[in-house]
Amino acid sequence: MEEILENWNLPQLCEFPQRRRTCNNCERPIKVCLCDVIPKEKLDHSTTVCILQHPAEAYAAFRTTPILESCLRNVEIVNSHKLPPEWNEPQEEDLVLFPTDSAIPVGHISRGNYRLFVIDGTWSSAKTLYRKNGNFRDRRNVTIGQTNSQSSVQSIPLFLLRKPPSNIANAYCTAEAVATALYWLEQEEANGIKIYHIIRNCIRHLCEKQMQYISKDSLRHRRESQGYIEGLYEQWQTRYTQS
């Protein structure tokens, strides 16, 4: 037995590839860093944005909350299944951005100083978090809804790196939804417009840079989805994907 042990060569330790270097500011890999379009100073805004993030979303490759953290000054993100105690007590100026049947289009809300609650995660996990936190239902619910055709809000989403739910073909990502809400809610209209375009510009660049490294067959749209927009995905694949 001793002779066997002496002649037994231990295998070398596996060498794992080094993790890609990530930008400390935008939290994106260096090759697809967004700092060239992120404002040098965070933007002031009258609406406080409170994001309840599903724990699994913190590990999602294409999460968009870092864009909000990089661009906006008054954003707080809690990674949990439950609202923290300081968010539990409803206030008169509270709004919950979630598409319930009773939700009011955010464009119908007067401008002011609000506390906007947002759920960050897949549609399935977002529904779960909404159901688990009954205090969401004690607040006014708002939705992006139909946009005003005379405004500069675009109805077609930019973020196409993650598949939409089967019943919503043109769904918004978290950053787009918040940007659209602030467009309507900000006390100063000009500031809301500025925030909206800056955040959407960051999302546009995120998609443009990322699509250079994604296979043209990896983004499968759902033609059977309600509200499917013909050619929505193809325009990104044709423009940014190399064969």
Q: What is the mean pLDDT of residues 126-148?
A: 86
Whether the pLDDT of residue 55 is over 90: the answer is: yes
User: Does 105 reside within a domain?
Assistant: yes
Whether residue 125 lies inside any domain: the answer is yes
Please tell me which residue, 56 or 169, carries the higher pLDDT value. 56
Q: pTM of whole model > 0.85? A: no
Q: Number of structural domains, the chain?
A: 1
Lowest-confidence segment of 93-102, 177-186, 212-221 by average pLDDT: 212-221
Q: What is the pLDDT of residues 93-130, one digit of tens each?
A: 999 999 999 999 999 999 999 999 999 998 889 999 99
Report if residue 195 sits inside a domain. yes
Per the domain annotation, does 136 fall within a domain? yes
Output the CA angle 149-150-154, nearest 5 degrees: 55
Domain containing 44: what range? 26-217+231-240
Q: Is 162 exposed, middle or buried (0-12, 13-18, 19+ CB in 10 A)?
A: middle
Report percent pLDDT > 90 for the chain: 49
Q: Which residue has tokens 């599903």?
A: 54
Phi, psi of 104 (to 5 degrees): -95, 135
Domain assignment of residue 6, yes or no: no
Which of the pair, 156 or 58, is modelled with greater confidence?
58
Distance CA 111, CA 109 (A): 6
Contact between residue 52 and residue 129 where contact means Cβ atoms under 8 Å apart: yes
More confident of the two residues 24 and 102:
102
